[in-house]
Structure 1
Amino acid sequence: MLRNFVLFLSENKSLKKFITNFTLIKEMAGRFVVGDTLQEAVPRVREINKMGMNVTMDHLGEHVNDTEEADASADAYLNLLDTIQKERLKAHISIKLTQMGLSIDREFCINNVEKIIKKAREYENFVRIDMEGSLYTQETLNIFYSLREKYDNVGIVIQSYLHRSEEDIMELIKKKGFVRLCKGAYEEPSSIAFKNKKDVEDNYLKLTRLLLDSKILNEGYYPAIATHDVKMIIGVKKYVREQNIEPNKFEFQMLYGVRRDLQKILRDEGYNVRLYVPYGREWYAYYLRRLGERTDNVTFLLRNLMLD
């Protein structure tokens, strides 16, 4: 119930201005977001690299309905890629198609995305296309498939809570589409997504086994297993041991600010670890989705909103 309320807040633009005016809320968001600007983000990324972990950088933003704003978002990513190269950061990038103008025009969006992928290819960098709410799932996959035919430095995100994800992963493996697997953080109806936590977890482990198939790993397939759930991580590590899969054949991905202890443990055990590091002024929706993943976080937020 509380989680649903926070997810509602994350998508409500009229409440966004009200909530972001609370100084405490922005300070709390600093746990998950490294700053408003790229200049603030670079030192944090460098620190993470020095700790032996790689990074995926995300310039926050989504659901853009203005061409100028979408173009500005694309330009911000081009600048981000230049900065990663100049600063010699061990970092990839992650983009959302609605941030690139998908809600405005499909071809306009693809043009923006292609500019980013081409720039990344020049620098031998990699672009991950994030998955958003189910309204955009099929179109996101369609665009990804069209891009994957031309570029090998682009990947996609799949959410284990969607009923369709097993079929999608089978198709992506056939087409050598590199997958980042996560559970999913958007509110969806039961007709589209599993609502029971155990069902989501069971499907997550089932999908990791598809992605960690020794045959495709030996052919160069490189999946990203994104989770902070200890039970999921134990399940993945058990399967990897049973199948004699080397730790460098895949990577664990985790969010900046979440389970730092676990990040270091996995690193020390010899696994590749990559942190998802977001920055930018459009932190509101991202932060509330992170809060919605834990009930105690939601309670803390609501209590402080009422007391401020």
Structure 2
Amino acid sequence: MQVNSRDFFLFLSKNKTLNRAAQSWGGGIASGKIVGGIDFPSSVKFIKELNEEGLSVTVDHLGEFVTSESVAKERTEECIQTIETIAAQKINSQVSLKLTSLGLDINDQLVYENMTKILDTAEKHQIMVTIDMEDEQRCQKTLDIFKDFKQSYNYISTVLQAYLYRTAKDIDDLNEYHPSLRLVKGAYKESADVAFPEKSDVDDNFKKIINMHLLNGNFTAIATHDDEIIEYTKRLVDKHNIPKNQFEFQMLYGMRTTTQKELVKDGYNMRVYIPYGQDWYGYFMRRLAERPANLAFVLKGMTKK
């Protein structure tokens, strides 16, 4: 049933008619509930509300798979402006981005030029930029780009996905860079040739890579809504006396808000992922595909006044 639910939500995420309809409705139905707003300025008030509750944030402009050089440059300038606004308003926020939005599928020179501009700004303001991981076919190229930039910039991190067979090896390969990594289960539809098809195997691998990266002494962001993974992490850091400033939990905006606040109350670092932009519908459906139980969290959050 879970496989069918996953496929169903992924199918809906790619439905162009529904995507267009969602954009015509505007972001009001989702703003302040599962996304910040239709642009970064309209999201700032929601970010500040989270900061006041002790929650850190990372923001991400929705949209990927850009095929136009001009659009990729627009996305780059928008990201730079977001970093400048975060610094100017002293917001406790980082930035996440997808390389496909900066021209990864167009040409290498373009994506390197755009990333350099963004990282120059981030370095100036000491604001972390996380390169989101996309589907498996773009994984190696994403990691190669990350390694190149990590040699010159401090404020850069990336993401590894527990459902891929390759990820434990990637942890080993990246260790020499002492990287800050966000570890996730993974949300794209992949074949059994490259990814664990069973949830139990994904969960086991998730625990394995959390253990590996933390014991390597590197900063680890554990991005999950899964209580079992959260409790596993708590036991692991207690057992090995890992300081709380070496890791953080991350969750999606509008989901498990009570748990987020409880983690902060218990002294853990908690970061909330807040996407913004017009393309909220596809994002929403992919999150439901990743974990259909998220539907309950979203409906609860969206019906609150």
The TM-score normalised by the length of structure 2 is 0.91
Q: Which residue of 1 aligns with 2:48?
A: 46
Q: 1:251 to 1:298 in 2, by over 3 A?
A: closer
Question: What per-residue deviation string (whole Å, max 9, x for no partner) do you get for residues 30-73 of structure 1?
Answer: 53111102121111111111111111111111000001111110
Verify the 8 A CA contact 2:250 2:273 in the aligned structure 1: yes
CA drift of 1:172 comes to 1.3
For 2:123 and 2:150, the matched residues in 1 are separated by 13
Mapped pair 1:156 → 2:158: yes
Q: 1:53-72 alignment to 2 at 5 Å?
A: 53-72=55-74
Aligned AA for 2:121?
Answer: K
Q: Which residue of 2 aligns with 1:305?
A: none
Distance 1:297 1:183, change over 3 A: closer
Q: Which residue of 2 aligns with 1:254?
A: 251
Instruction: Report if aligned partners of 2:255, 2:294 keep a CA contact under 8 Å in 1.
Output: no
Separation in 2, partners of 1:76, 1:192: 34
Judge conservation of contact 1:29–1:287 (CA < 8 Å) in 2: no
- Equivalent pairs, count: 295
Paired residue type of 1:268? K
Q: CA contact under 8 A between 1:94 and 1:130: conserved in structure 2?
A: yes
Moved more, 192-201 or 241-250: 241-250
> Separation in 1 of the partners of 2:202 and 2:88?
41
Q: Which residue of 2 aligns with 1:92?
A: 94
The one-letter amino acid paired with 1:154 is I
Does the CA contact (< 8 Å) of 1:183 and 1:204 recur in 2?
yes
SS in 2 for 1:295: coil
Task: Please say if residues 29 and 283 of structure 1, whose CA atoms lie closer than 8 Å, have aligned partners that are also in contact.
Answer: no
Contact 1:20 1:26 in 2 (8 A): no
For residues 172-193 of structure 1, the C-alpha deviation after alignment (integer angstroms, 9 at most, x for no partner) is 1122222100000111111111
Cα distance in structure 2, aligned partners of 1:115 and 1:66: 18
**Structure-2 separation of matches of 1:17 and 1:159:** 30
Pairwise CA RMSD:
2.1
Do the aligned partners of 1:292 and 1:298 also contact (CA within 8 Å) in 2?
no
Query: 1:192 corresponds to which residue?
Result: 194
The residue that corresponds to 2:19 in the other structure is 16
Counterpart of 2:265 (choices 268, 279, 297) is 268
Within 2, Cα distance between the matches of 1:35 and 1:19?
14
Aligned counterparts of 2:205 and 2:72: Cα–Cα separation in 1 = 35
* Structure 1 counterpart of 2:225: 228
| C-alpha distance in 1 between matches for 2:99 and 2:260 | 28
Is 1:279 the equivalent of 2:272? no
Measure the CA separation in 1 of the matches of 2:238 and 2:81. 41
Deviation track 1:247-286 (CA, whole Å, cap 9, x = no partner) reads 2221111111111111111111111111111111122321
Question: What is the aligned-residue identity percentage?
Answer: 39
Q: How far apart are 1:241 and its partner, in Å?
A: 1.0
Alignment of 1:208-247 (within 5 A): 208-213=210-215, 216-217=216-217, 221-247=218-244
Residue type of the partner of 2:237?
V
User: By how many angstroms is 1:18 displaced?
Assistant: 4.3
Counterparts of 1:244 and 1:53 in 2: how far apart (Å)? 23
